Chains A and B, each alone.
Chain A
Amino acid sequence: MNTCQNYEGFISGYLEGDLQGESLLEMKNHISKCQSCSQKINNIKVLCLNLKKLAPVKTSSDFDTMLRARIKLDSKKKRYQTNWNLFPGNFRIPAHGISIALIIIAFTLVFLKISNFQNPTIPDAADNAEWYSGQPIQNQQSPDNLTVYSIDRQPAIRVISHRQNHLLGHTERGTETVADSTNLLAQENRLSDLQRNYYQTKTY
C-alpha cells in the first residue's frame, strides 16, 4: 500500500470497522499524513449519513385495494390457463421468438406441400412395397456427383426423403444420390427418373 489509490479500496472497511491489525494501523498512519484521503473519508461518512436519511417515499392510498384486485384477476386468469405456465418466475418467451417460430413452421409446411406438388411421381414409400423392403426394383445405377434441385433451388429430394424416412420410422438416412446440372428445366424433367433411381438405390 503506497499510493492514495491503494488506500481508497479500504475506506469502507475502515469506516465499518472491518479493518484490523496491520492494515488498520497503516490506514490510520496514512490518513494522519494525507489531507486528500482524510477528506475523502470524511465525505464518504457524510454521504452515508445522507443516503440513510433520504426521505422515504410512500405507497399511494389505494395500493392495497389495487393489489387485491390484481391478485384476484391473476387467480381468475390462472384458472383459465393452468397448464401453460411452463416457465415459472421471470422467464418469458419473447413475443418475437414465437412469431419467428410460427413463420418458420408455416414456411416449412408450405414448402413441403409445394415439393410434393412439384414432384408428383415420387413413389409413396408406404405404398411401394419393393422400396419399402429396401430391395432395388431395377438394377439401375444412380448418377454420381449430381445435385437435384427443383425450380426454387431447394434440394427437394433430400427433404422428401427425410420426411418419408420419418414417416416410415427409419432411424438411419439412406445413401443420398445427388445430381449436378446447369439446366434447371432439364433437371425438372429428369427429376422423377432420378428420384426413382434415388429411392431404388437407397440402402438402409
Chain B
Amino acid sequence: MVKEKTGNRPTDEDLIERFQNGDLYAFDLIVKRYKNQLLNFIFRFLGNTEEAEDLVQETFLRVYRNRKAYQKVAKFSTWIYTIAGNLAKTELRKRKRRRFFSISELGYNEKDYDISDDAYNPEKDVDGRMKEAIIHNQIMKLSPKFRQVILLRDVQQLSYEEISEIVNIPLGTVKSRVNRGRLKLQEKLKFLLER
C-alpha cells in the first residue's frame, strides 16, 4: 500500500509471483488493485451490484486457489479478467435457464439500476444521473458479445490486444465488434448524444 506512492509500485506480475511464493500480503494488494475494476466490469455486464460483488469474490477465490496455474507469459490483468468474464457469462447462462423456468423473472432492467444509489456519484445532478441510467440500460440491451467488448474497451479502457486475449477472439474481430457495438449504442442514444 505504501509502496504505491513511492513510485516503486510493484507490477501485477511481481505481486502474483510473490503470492505464488507464499506472500499473502501480495494477494491483499492484488485484491485492493482489482476489486473495484472487476466490480464495475461485472456490474455493467450483469446489471446487478449484489450478484456482481459475489462474482468478484468468486474471481479472487479462484485466483487464490489457482495461483500456481498462472504463468508469467500472460499479463496478470488479462488472466484475472478472463476468470471474471467467464464467471459473468456463466451467470448469464444460469439466469437464462432460470428465466426459462420462471415467468415472473424480471432479468435485468430498470429494476436493477437504482439511480438514487449513493454509489452513483451524488455530486452529479439528477440530469446527469438520469443520463447514466439511460446509457447503462442501453448497454444492458446489447447482446452479451457486444456488451463484453464495449465494457472492456470503453469503460475499462483496456487495449484491443488485451481484449483479444481475454475474450479469446482475433484482434480484427475485437476491433470490428467494438465498432459495431458503438454504432448500435449510438443509434439508440442519438437523442442523448446529439444534445
A contact residues vs B (CB 8 Å cutoff): 8-9, 11-13, 18, 39-40, 42-44, 46-48, 50-52, 54-60, 63-64, 66-67, 70-71, 74, 78, 88-90
B1: CB under 8 A from chain A? Answer: no
Interface-facing stretch out of B6-14, B98-106, B150-158, B162-170: B150-158
Tell me which residues across on chain B come within 8 A of A54, comparing CB atoms. Answer: 40, 44, 132, 135-136, 155
Q: Give A85's nearest chain B residue, CB to CB.
A: B65
Tell me, yes or no, whether B143 is within 8 Å of chain A by CB: no
The yes or no answer to B137 lying at the interface (CB within 8 A) is no
Find out whether the CB atom of A89 lies under 8 angstroms from the CB atom of B189.
no
The reply to whether B39 and A57 form a contact with Cβ atoms under 8 Å apart is yes
- Contact of B186 (CB < 8 Å), options: A47, A78, A90: A47
Q: A67-B60, A74-B65 are in contact. List 5 more A-B contacts (CB 8 A).
A: A11-B183, A47-B154, A56-B40, A59-B39, A63-B56
- Distance of B115 from chain A, by nearest CB (Å): 10
Q: Which residues of B contact A64 (CB under 8 A)?
A: 28, 31
Partner of A90, one of B90, B132, B185: B90
Encode B161-194 as 1/0 by CB contact (under 8 A) with A. Answer: 0000000000000011011001101100110011
Given contacts A11-B182, A55-B120, A55-B132, contact A90 B53 (CB under 8 A): no
Distance A71 CA – B154 CA, assembled complex (angstroms): 32
Q: Assess whether B61 is in contact with A51, with CB atoms less than 8 Å apart.
A: no
Asked whether, in the complex, the Cβ of A9 is within 8 Å of the Cβ of B155, the reply is no
Judged by a CB distance under 8 angstroms, whether B57 is at the interface is yes
Contacts of A55 in B (CB 8 A): 119-121, 124, 129, 132
| 26 pairs, A vs B, C-beta closer than 8 Å | A12-B179, A40-B183, A40-B186, A43-B193, A44-B183, A44-B186, A47-B185, A47-B189, A48-B154, A50-B131, A51-B150, A51-B154, A52-B155, A54-B44, A54-B132, A55-B119, A55-B132, A57-B49, A58-B36, A59-B39, A63-B53, A66-B57, A70-B57, A78-B65, A90-B87, A90-B90
Across the A-B interface, give the 6 residue pairs with the lowest CB-CB distance, nearest first: A51-B154, A12-B179, A55-B121, A43-B193, A43-B186, A46-B193
B145 beta carbon closer than 8 Å to chain A: no
Residue B64 is within 8 A (CB to CB) of chain A in the complex: yes
Residues A52 and B53 in contact, CB atoms below 8 Å apart: no
CB neighbours (8 Å) of A51 from chain B are 135, 150, 154-155
CA distance A32 to B49 in the complex (A): 44
CB within 8 Å of A: which B111-161 residues: 119-121, 124, 129, 131-132, 135-136, 150, 154-155, 157
Find chain A residues with CB under 8 A from B135 CB.
50-51, 54
The secondary structure that dominates the B interface is: helix
CA distance A54 to B120 in the complex (A): 9
Given the interface pairs A58-B119, A88-B69, the reply to whether A9 lies near B56 with Cβ below 8 Å is no
Is B19 engaged at the interface, CB distance under 8 Å to the other chain?
Answer: no
Q: Which residues of A contact B61 (CB under 8 A)?
A: 67, 70-71, 74
Contact check, A12 vs B175: say whether CB atoms are below 8 A apart. yes
Residues of B within 8 A of A74 (CB): 61, 64-65
Q: Which residues of B contact A46 (CB under 8 A)?
A: 193
CB closest chain-B residue, reference A88: B66
| Known A-B contacts A43-B190, A47-B189; A59 and B56 likewise in contact (beta carbons under 8 Å) | yes
